[in-house]
Chain A
């Protein structure tokens, strides 16, 4: 393993993107993700890449569309209100089957909201934030090391399935520093025979477009896209289990909420409460299998979120509501404390699955 360096999560994303071969970054500054743009502004010119601060988020996502059409790895990043602005472009990327990496370092909302950490863009990310039937692959890092590793993986998945991968982080993950090792293996980029790179008079034109006026053609394209989505749901779900072997109470949490929950779980275990954690790493596809599997021993699930309860719906769907799922949350830029989560665990233990 290479020497570990201390890096902010935002910087780790930027460095990992460069490592993955991304040479084109378009963005517009917004707290708490500005370090990504700052890092790119410093590095890209030195390695023959493009850093461009666009006039708006909407312009930036459309520049991503343009570069992606040529087959190059490309990214943009923003925080919650900026992602809303990019949503039209995200839908167009989906409609044109273009790969891209988009980072959302979430902050509290709705509206301009605040600048402190949040996870309240879960619905927006996992349901496809723009119009039309589509999904993005959504990756949720819970450490600076994962910020780097999932960025590389995000580019690979985007190319493999010709779609957007979103890194769904939050202000804490973006701002915190942790040791990170950057000797991350990068697979060779796949051929992109669909890209617009000039025909050299030797092949028919490639056309990148999301306009299909014939309904039966458009329907067929949606069907085909969803076949790809089905393959992703089958093959790409990622998660971490923590102390789940004998768990009677299971916490579901991602990102910073999962880290806070681990503290609470360690304390609860000292009190003899059998509690564990399932941490989804892919939020779409949502890892349903570990939740189904947990039902062998788990009597109650607790969804710990920095939102009013968004992922909780996927937890309930994964287990068809067969046991109670309760919510433990803070919002608006507040973060649940380990004590709050511990109280929720004790409460669940007392109820023994009876709600």
Chain B
């Protein structure tokens, strides 16, 4: 019986909501109970964006994640804001291209991935989010799961089917990144 609470955060336009939706769909395909809740407001590209994702063996109560097991921080304001909220024993996945400092908390594990740099170097500058998702999956020992492919097909519409391969490539890059 376990519940994983994830908080995705960053700038609008970084694919924060998309990455969260992918993880929620993967959970659904894995027969878990899931919820996905975006921050909403007068937000725009470049503003802040976040979403709460809960993946659980039991029905999800509150869909609001205020104390995440896993924080995904894709910019410094998000890192500063949510770093202290991570539960002891939890993890932070941070985009080290945009976040120079490391956490000084000793009770959590931080995985620093230069996702924005990697994405840009590999010709898919909009997929830093999926590089980080790949890293999360590999840390959770879940990268090879069939549900990864299936979930990707759910969140990428048939119209954009050509994006499947490049998303997988981005995730693989993240999964294999040793930092």
Determine if chain A interacts with chain B. yes
Q: Which residue of A lies closest to B40 (CB)?
A: A175
Are A176 and B36 in contact, CB atoms less than 8 angstroms apart? yes
Known contacts A178-B60, A259-B63, A263-B62: does B25 contact A6 (CB below 8 Å)?
A: yes
Known contacts A6-B24, A6-B25: does B38 contact A175 (CB below 8 Å)?
A: yes
Report Cα–Cα, A217/B159, bound state, in Å: 61
Q: How far is the CB of A81 from chain B (nearest CB, A)?
A: 16
Report Cα–Cα, A31/B38, bound state, in Å: 14
Report the interface size for chain B: residues with CB under 8 A from the other chain: 20
Are B63 and A266 in contact, CB atoms less than 8 angstroms apart? no
**B167 interface hit (Cβ, 8 Å):** no
Known contacts A6-B21, A178-B60, A335-B64: does B40 contact A32 (CB below 8 Å)?
A: yes
Contact with B along A150-182 (1 / 0, CB 8 A): 000000000000000000000110011111000
Q: How far is the CB of A73 from chain B (nearest CB, A)?
A: 29
Report Cα–Cα, A337/B34, bound state, in Å: 19
Within 8 A of B (CB), among A14-41: 31-32
**A324 interface hit (Cβ, 8 Å):** no
Are A176 and B40 in contact, CB atoms less than 8 angstroms apart? no
Instruction: List B contacts of A171 (CB < 8 A).
Output: 40
Interface residues of B (CB under 8 A from A): 21, 24-25, 28, 33-38, 40-42, 60-64, 66, 154
Report Cα–Cα, A266/B28, bound state, in Å: 23
Known contacts A115-B40, A171-B40, A177-B24: does B63 contact A6 (CB below 8 Å)?
A: no
**A274 interface hit (Cβ, 8 Å):** no
Known contacts A6-B28, A115-B41, A172-B37: does B62 contact A177 (CB below 8 Å)?
A: no
State the majority secondary structure of interface residues on B. Answer: mixed
Are B61 and A177 in contact, CB atoms less than 8 angstroms apart? no
Are A337 and B63 in contact, CB atoms less than 8 angstroms apart? no
Q: Which residue of B lies closest to A266 (CB)?
A: B61
Report Cα–Cα, A52/B140, bound state, in Å: 48
Instruction: List B contacts of A131 (CB < 8 A).
Output: none
Are B37 and A175 in contact, CB atoms less than 8 angstroms apart? yes
Report Cα–Cα, A260/B25, bound state, in Å: 23
Known contacts A4-B28, A6-B21: does B37 contact A176 (CB below 8 Å)?
A: yes
Instruction: List B contacts of A256 (CB < 8 A).
Output: 62-63
Set A6, A116, A176, A179: member contacting B41, Cβ < 8 A: A116
Report Cα–Cα, A309/B61, bound state, in Å: 22
A-B contacts, 26 listed (Cβ < 8 Å): A6-B21, A6-B25, A6-B34, A32-B40, A115-B41, A115-B42, A171-B40, A172-B63, A172-B64, A175-B37, A175-B40, A176-B36, A176-B63, A177-B37, A178-B34, A179-B33, A256-B62, A256-B63, A259-B61, A259-B63, A260-B64, A262-B62, A263-B61, A266-B61, A335-B64, A338-B61
Known contacts A6-B24, A266-B61: does B66 contact A178 (CB below 8 Å)?
A: no
Report Cα–Cα, A178/B36, bound state, in Å: 6
Q: How far is the CB of A299 from chain B (nearest CB, A)?
A: 24
Report Cα–Cα, A13/B24, bound state, in Å: 20
Instruction: List B contacts of A115 (CB < 8 A).
Output: 40-42
